[in-house]
Amino acid sequence: MAIAKNPKNKKQLIDDSQIISLYMNSVLETNEAPKNVYLFCKHNSIEEADFYSFYNSLDAVKEDIWVKFFENTIDALHRDANYAGYESRNKLLSLYFTLFEILNLNRTYVYFALKDNKEGLRNLQQLKELRIQFKDYIVNILKSEENEKENKMKRLTRPVFSEGAWFQFLFILKFWVDDTSKGFEKTDIMIEKAVKATFDILDTTPLESLFDLGKFIWKERG
């Protein structure tokens, strides 16, 4: 996500994307979050009224940053003419790979946003809106399923599957934050194994994939 330069004119028109860029830029330059809306607006020469026309707090900005990451991911996927024809497994793989490519481009900010959380990724308030959009998109992926696994997916309710996919994403996100491999290649392996295990649960013989995933996780923890 591009970082905007500070506007020089207080009357300059501003939008939500510019506010996000300015917020991220402030975090990257100071290695701390802005203390409040007043100081953030003063530092960036924007009117508080302009800020509040888009967001009601800095926490709302932090939430929307994750939403923008996700929206950019979906836009990129839909620009691929072949994506609509993918099976659900490959759609989920593409979703993860594209999303983590975007996170890689913003890793310094994302690492800062996540590293001080003491309660675990699952309880991060800033991921609240992302969770809603992510789960909705997973349901849409399932609705598009037209292959031989369709009946099995119907038996596994969409809310349960989408919630499981959300926890899977959080698990991969935590793995990525801690990944020190070159080019985050171990995260790519984790994504492939996690998605394979997830969809193999819909098959009659999932144990081999689950065992393979378990071996990989155990090795990396050691």
Summarised one tens digit per residue, pLDDT across range 91-115 is 999 999 999 999 999 999 999 999 8
Whose CA is closest to 96, among 28, 13, 163, 189? 189
Question: Residue 205 pLDDT more than 60?
Answer: no
pLDDT at 62: 95
Any idea which residue has 């701390």 for tokens? 32
Q: Please calculate the CA angle 51-52-56 and round it to the nearest 5 degrees.
A: 120
pLDDT surpasses 50 at 217 = yes
Closest C-alpha among 129, 114, 24 to residue 67: 129
Angstrom distance (rounded) from CA 103 to CA 100 = 5
Write the pLDDT tens digit of every residue in 23-82.
Answer: 999 999 999 999 999 999 999 999 999 999 999 999 999 999 999 999 999 999 999 999
pLDDT score, position 19: 97
Q: Let me know: does 76 contact 39? Beta carbons within 8 Å.
A: no
- List pLDDT tens digits, range 157-202: 667 778 888 989 999 999 999 999 999 999 999 999 999 887 776 6
Whether the predicted model's global pTM rises above the 0.85 cut: no
Can you spell out the DSSP letters for 98-149? HHHHHHHHTHHHHHHHHHT-SS-GGG-GGGHHHHHHHHHHHHHHHHT--STT
Distance CA 73, CA 82 (A): 15
Spell out the domain ranges in the chain.
16-56, 92-221
Query: Average pLDDT, stretch 16-27?
Result: 96
- Minimal CA–CA distance to 69: which of 134, 157, 4? 134
